[in-house]
């Protein structure tokens, strides 16, 4: 993938649950932040890019953390899946308020609020210009929403996964702790695994490697970056088989 000439037909945008929450606020979801994200997605949508979204649930719940404190891990993960549904509905509401057609598909059936996940139907929605928000993870415990992103990107034939983070790319070390850390414009999956760079979990990486789906890590905090990266601007770090 060229750094200066990216062109996307269909992408999966990965948002963390924390991205929807204002720092220091007691509210789990900030309508203002979700509204800003929706405006940026609208800009990219109007440019003709087919957009799917996977959103985490960490602003409400973390299954691994609850499990470490004694809760059954499978149950803790199911609670986390419910949290992603709440976030997905908030994103859908914000997008529809901006006139962007949007459907939530849930891997756990809850027909009163979301469609069940059906691969062919989701792909058709995207082809028709509807944004699809994938909720409830994979529908099974022990899998992260990073893995969900890789799985859905593979199923939808997406060109890339766009991972919104709190930093502007992938670094050789944590830039908040190591002033000597350097940022990569591009890096291989294999190097990320070898150097233990925390981009996505190994299951997600394996899916992306096997299906040749690049991951673009970019800074969510910079206003306008969501629209820019979806439309193909050369920002962030590209993680791919080529490196």
| 138 marked as part of a ligand binding site | yes
pLDDT in tens, 181-230: 999 999 999 999 888 888 898 899 999 999 999 999 999 989 999 999 99
Residue 57 forms part of a structural domain: yes
Residue 210 forms part of a structural domain: yes
pLDDT in tens, 95-137: 999 999 999 999 999 999 999 999 999 999 999 999 999 999 9
| 189 marked as part of a ligand binding site | no
| 73 marked as part of a ligand binding site | no
The answer, yes or no, to whether residue 4 has pLDDT greater than 60, is: no
Residue 2 forms part of a structural domain: no
- Band (pLDDT 50/70/90 cuts) for residue 5 is low
| 111 marked as part of a ligand binding site | no
| 58 marked as part of a ligand binding site | yes
| 30 marked as part of a ligand binding site | no
| 77 marked as part of a ligand binding site | yes
The answer, yes or no, to whether residue 11 has pLDDT greater than 70, is: yes
The pLDDT value recorded for residue 3 is 47
| 140 marked as part of a ligand binding site | yes
Q: How many alpha carbons lie under 13 Å from residue 204 in its C-beta half-sphere?
A: 26
Cα–Cα separations (whole angstroms), residue 38 to 95, 96, 178, 220: 5, 9, 34, 13
- pTM to 2 decimal places: 0.93
| 78 marked as part of a ligand binding site | no
pLDDT in tens, 18-54: 999 988 888 999 999 999 999 999 999 999 999 999 9
SS3 content of the chain, % helix, strand, coil (to 5): 40, 20, 40
Residue 1 forms part of a structural domain: no
Q: What is the CATH number of the domain that holds 54?
A: 3.40.1160.10
Residue 3 forms part of a structural domain: no
Residue 5 forms part of a structural domain: no
Residue 181 forms part of a structural domain: yes
Greater confidence, 5 or 16? 16
Residue 4 forms part of a structural domain: no
| 141 marked as part of a ligand binding site | yes
Q: Domain tally for the chain?
A: 1
Q: 133 is in which domain, residue-wise? A: 10-240
């Amino acid at each position: 993938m060229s750094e200066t000439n990216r062109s996307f037909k269909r992408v999966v945008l990965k948002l963390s649950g924390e991205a929807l929450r204002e720092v220091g606020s007691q509210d789990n979801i900030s309508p203002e932040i979700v509204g800003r994200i929706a405006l940026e997605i609208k800009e990219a949508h109007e440019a003709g890019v087919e957009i799917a979204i996977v959103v985490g649930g960490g602003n409400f719940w973390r299954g691994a953390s609850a499990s470490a404190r004694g809760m059954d891990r499978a149950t803790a993960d199911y609670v986390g899946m419910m949290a992603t549904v709440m976030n997905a509905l908030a994103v859908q509401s914000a997008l529809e308020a901006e006139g962007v057609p949007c459907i939530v598909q849930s891997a756990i059936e809850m027909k009163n609020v979301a469609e069940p996940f059906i691969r062919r139907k989701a792909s058709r929605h995207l082809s028709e210009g509807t944004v699809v928000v994938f909720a409830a993870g994979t529908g099974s415990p022990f899998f992260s929403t990073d893995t969900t992103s890789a799985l859905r990107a593979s199923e939808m034939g997406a060109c890339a996964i766009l991972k919104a983070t709190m930093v502007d790319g992938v670094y050789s070390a944590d830039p908040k702790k190591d002033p000597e850390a350097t940022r990569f414009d591009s890096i291989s999956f294999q190097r990320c695994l070898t150097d233990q760079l925390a981009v996505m979990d190994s299951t997600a990486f394996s899916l992306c490697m096997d299906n040749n789906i690049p991951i673009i890590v970019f800074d969510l905090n910079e206003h306008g970056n969501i629209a820019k990266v979806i439309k193909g601007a050369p920002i962030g770090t590209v993680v791919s088989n080529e490196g």
